[in-house]
Amino acid sequence: MNLKVESENLANYLLELKEVNYSNPRLKQKADELFNSNQTEIEKAKVAFEFVRDEIFHSWDIQSERVTCNASEVLELKEGICYAKSHLLASLLRLQGIPTGFCYQRLMLFDTPEKGYCIHALNAIFLKSLNKWIRVDARGNKTGIDAQFSTEEEKLAFLINEKLNEKDYPIIYTKPHPKTVTVLEEHTNAIEMYKNHLPESL
């Protein structure tokens, strides 16, 4: 996968946004718990990834109706779909000065094309010590999904099947895609939203 940056300016991958609200005291407190000055940037990236992957529940996996969006809300309620979880991971890492962007895949929503498609969110992290971007997927592991942190080969949650019209989007965005933010803002039932209203393409 040849990733393409939306912006050549790494500072744009450190910006605070409505969804990436890392000035929030709750975010800062969690960052103090997760990180210390002895950790390398790679260690910080791995710690943050594993925290969001393992400690923040995916709404569909736990069949929760709550919709979360902003990073502080995701952290407080400890749940969200992939869009929301990507906001939290970006917030934790941007707070540490580690450039973090947003990437997307088009996937079958369930197990066949007839059941529809959805846009899936993950993150890209720029590691200055390696001078490269890596993609990670913190949606949360379960049977059949084993996403891991790796600086060498991608170990994402989902493999793309282009024959079934799935797609890897190569752009590393500086901000969450408007389509993904809008769907979170317009719905109040996460299960109904997940089944019927997720965007199918960017």
Look at domain 4-196 and name its CATH class.
Answer: alpha beta
Token digits of residue 163: 């024959």
Residues of the chain with pLDDT under 70: none
pLDDT for 63 equals 98
The DSSP code for 119 is E
DSSP-based three-state secondary structure for 80 = strand
Give pLDDT, residue 1.
80
Q: Where are the strands (E) in the chain, listed by range?
A: 4-5, 57-58, 79-80, 100-108, 117-127, 132-136, 167-168, 171-172
Indicate the domain borders of the chain. 4-196
> Which residue, chain included where needed, has tokens 């080969």?
153
- CA dist list (Å): 14 to 76, 102, 110, 126: 22, 12, 34, 11
Measured CA to CA, the distance from residue 132 to residue 11 in angstroms comes to 15
